[in-house]
Each structure stands twice: as structure tokens, then as C-alpha cells.
Amino acid sequence: MMSGQMISGQTISDGAVLAQLVAQGQQQGADLATLRAIVEQSGELGATRALVRMGLGDEGAGRDLGELRELLAAWRDAKSSLWKAGLAWVVRLLGAIGIGAIAVQQGLMGWGK
């Protein structure tokens, strides 16, 4: 994606190019309201084209995005739960090993001293 255009060896931002084109149109006789309407329509057309290219140009796109957000939220919840459960098991395992070590050290199992 380009963030600007090269004009006379200089990079000009898209906003500056747009402002320059509007000024040029105004100098050539177009009124400012007409130029702004053209800019607004071209922006809307560009946004629509981008959505269509991403596969989000149909009636169900809003529903699809909602479902994707729900799926992402569920994934994050599951990932968080997995980490919490894993940590709980590690703590339990370390506790069991500690208790077992104490039992062996005290000779309660007949393996120690």
C-alpha cells in the first residue's frame, strides 16, 4: 500500500495530493461544494471496493464480522482458561512432590532414613 505519491522526486502524502487536486479544481472553475462532494463520493467508492475485495461487500458481512468477533472472544476465553488450568495442575504437582519428599524424608514410606 502506498502512503503517498512521487511528484517531481518528492513524496507527497495522500492528503496533500487530495488538497492539491481540490485547489487545482477550484482554480479551474469548480466550486468548493462540488469538489468536496466528489471527494466524498470517491472515498465512499474506494471504501466499498476495499470491502468487496476482502469479501465483506454483501448483505451478511455485518453478521459475519459479529460471528468472527464472538469466535475470537471465545478463543481468548478458552486460551485464558487453559493457562489457568495448566498453572493449577503445575501447582498441584509441585505440592504433591513436596509432600512426597517430606514423607520420604520423615521415613513415613520406608524409603528414607
pLDDT of 2 higher than 90: no
Looking at residue 112, the DSSP 8-state letter turns out to be -
| Mean predicted lDDT score pLDDT of the chain | 83
Beta-carbon contacts of residue 6 (< 8 Å; ≥ 6 apart): 12
Contact 30, 17 (CB under 8 A): no
pLDDT of 42 higher than 90: no
pLDDT of 74 higher than 60: yes
pLDDT at 10: 53
The strand pairing partners of 10, in sequence order, are: 7
Local confidence band at 95 (pLDDT 50, 70, 90 cut-offs): very high
The reported pTM is 0.47
